[in-house]
Structure 1
Amino acid sequence: MSPTDDMVEIEQLLARYAVGMTRGDVGRVLAVFTPDGTYSAFGDSYPLDAFPALIAAAPKGLFLVGTPVIELDGDAATGTQPLCFVEHSEHAMRIGYYNDTYVRTRQGWRLRTRAMTFIRRSGDHDSGRPHAFERSRP
Structure 2
Amino acid sequence: MDDRTRRDIEHDCERLCHRYSHVIDFGEAARVADLFHDDGVWKTPEAEHVGKPAILKAFTARQANARRMSRHVCSTVVIDVADADHASGVTYIQLYRHDAEPGRRVSPLADQPVIVGEYHDTFLRTPEGWRFDRREFRAAFVR
**Common fold by TM > 0.5:** yes
Deviation of 1:83 (Å) = 0.4
Give the 5 Å matches for 1:1-138.
Answer: 2-47=5-50, 48-51=55-58, 52-54=60-62, 56=64, 59-74=68-83, 75-88=85-98, 89-91=107-109, 92-93=112-113, 94-120=115-141
CA contact (8 A) 2:45 2:138 kept: no
Describe the superposition over 1:39-77 as per-residue Cα deviations: whole angstroms up to 9, x where unpaired. 111343113243222554695311111142111111111
8 Å contact 1:11–1:67 — kept in the other structure? no
**Identical-residue share of aligned pairs (%):** 25
The unaligned stretches of length 5 or more in structure 2 are 99-106
Maintained 8 Å contact 1:16/1:28 = no
Cα RMSD after superposing both structures: 2.3
Where does structure 1 lack aligned partners over 5 or more consecutive residues?
123-138
Does the CA contact (< 8 Å) of 1:100 and 1:112 recur in 2?
yes
Maintained 8 Å contact 1:39/1:113: yes
Question: So what's the TM-score if we normalise by structure 2?
Answer: 0.74
Letter in 2 for 1:72: V
Q: 2: distance between equivalents of 1:110 and 1:116?
A: 16
CA distance in 2, matches of 1:27, 1:53: 8
